[in-house]
Structure 1
Amino acid sequence: MSGRWWAGAGVALVAVAAGLTAAALAAGRRLPVEHVSEGGLELDRPPGEVWDVLTAVDLFPAWRPGLAHVERLPATATGGLRWREYGKHGHTTYEVVESAAPHRLVTGIADPDLPYGGTWTYVLTPAGRGCTLTVTERGEVYQPLYRAVSHYVTGEGATVHRYLRALAHRMAAA
């Protein structure tokens, strides 16, 4: 094939990519910045045992896929736990916003420079010899392109469901 054909094909690919990006940006601008996702899990473990797993941040890399390591940080001004998670997409700093052991935990992103933010509320409700865990993500995605990808490609509830699958696996192994 001639060089002109390859050059034309390259220009066409760039044009298609630019068009897709523009469409995704337009779609993302129409989506709300905030979203709420929820998921639940029935566990054959008492709330206190599940609580210990939810709050043992140093052990997260052992059961959460994609998490390379965790660094503990100085506590918040009110004494709340803070930590930084490192994974394949960089790092994110989190903090405990509210803690009522062993029934309610609220964590949040503590890094205002990220293109996203939000909180996760974990509620443990006793159920027979075990408990039910409900996780509610109240997320914010500030950049329109990321919003479109989150909404249309990965799904806004993907993080909650991935977390619950990993936790179910971890608790089954205990």
Structure 2
Amino acid sequence: MKRILLFAFGTSFLLIGLVVLFLAVGYFQEPKFHKETSEWLKAEPEDIWNFITDIQDLPNRRKEVISVKILETKADGTPSKWLETPDMGGYMIFELREFVPNRKWKIELTDASFKMRGSWTYSLEPKIPGTLVTITEDSEITSIPVRGAYYLAGRDATLTKEMEMIRNRFSGR
């Protein structure tokens, strides 16, 4: 019986210690994040533009997005506000902030169940033959546990995954 109690207390202290460490990691991380990544792709700006702005197709391209619901559209039918449902539950509402066809697309995360906000800017610059794609992330996470989780996953994981998705779509052309 004494061994069982010692094991239970030891396991409890270990788990409590890990939780405290996880929260401490989140607490000491900077809430704001800024990073930019660029890559030259052998594809036309229009093709890349059509791919990155196809909001309805996100569930087919990104396994973590279960569904997308268009909430508002511009006069030309371009989605200007949409709700994404991620596979971990919750929601994320994005709004279109800047739209220069085949050149620049800026979206903003305006509301999320994860206590996050931010913007992602996609810039396309023709570089014969091909296009220089630049993605810039400016985000903020106010939740300490979410910051801890992002630290463990890699704070730039979303940015890296976006560029990888675009690269994979247009590689081998």
Q: TM-score range by the shorter chain?
A: 0.7 to 0.9
The equivalent of 1:115 in structure 2 is 115
Aligned to 2:126: 126
The CA deviation string for residues 15-38 of structure 1, in whole angstroms up to 9 with x for no partner, is 112122222323322222101122
Three-state SS of the structure 2 residue aligned to 1:8 is: helix
CA contact (8 A) 1:31 1:148 kept: yes
Local SS of the residue matching 2:137: strand
Which blocks of at least 5 consecutive residues in structure 2 are unaligned? none
Tell me the amino acid that sits aligned with residue 129 of structure 2. R
SS at match of 1:122: strand
Aligned residue runs from structure 1 range 6-21, under 5 A: 6-21=4-19
1:88, 1:80 → 2: CA distance? 22
- What one-letter code is carried by the residue in structure 2 that aligns with 1:36? H
Q: Distance in 2 between matches of 1:169 and 1:80?
A: 24
Alpha carbons of structure 1 residues 67 and 27: separation in structure 2 relative to 1, 3 Å: closer
Q: Given the superposition, is the C-alpha separation of residues 59 and 173 from structure 1 closer, same or farther in structure 2, using an over 3 Å criterion? A: farther
Say yes or no: does 1:31 pair with 2:29.
Answer: yes
Report the AA paired with residue 58 of structure 1. Q
Equivalent position SS for 1:128:
coil
Match of 2:104 in 1: 104
Matched residue SS, 2:57 = helix
For 1:70 and 1:39, the matched residues in 2 are separated by: 26
CA distance in 1: counterparts of 2:79 and 2:85, whole angstroms: 20
Q: Percent identity?
A: 21
Name the count of aligned residue pairs: 169
Aligned equivalent of 2:135: 135
Aligned partner letter, 1:95: E
Return the alpha-carbon distance in structure 1 between the equivalents of residues 101 and 4 of structure 2.
Answer: 63
Cα deviation for residue 105 of structure 1 reads: 1.0
User: Distance between the aligned counterparts of 1:120 and 1:149, measured in 2?
Assistant: 20
Partner of residue 73, structure 1:
71
Q: How many angstroms apart in 1 are the aligned matches of 2:56 and 2:16? A: 43
**Runs ≥4 in structure 1, deviation > 4 angstroms?**
none
127-136 vs 20-29, greater mean Cα deviation: 20-29
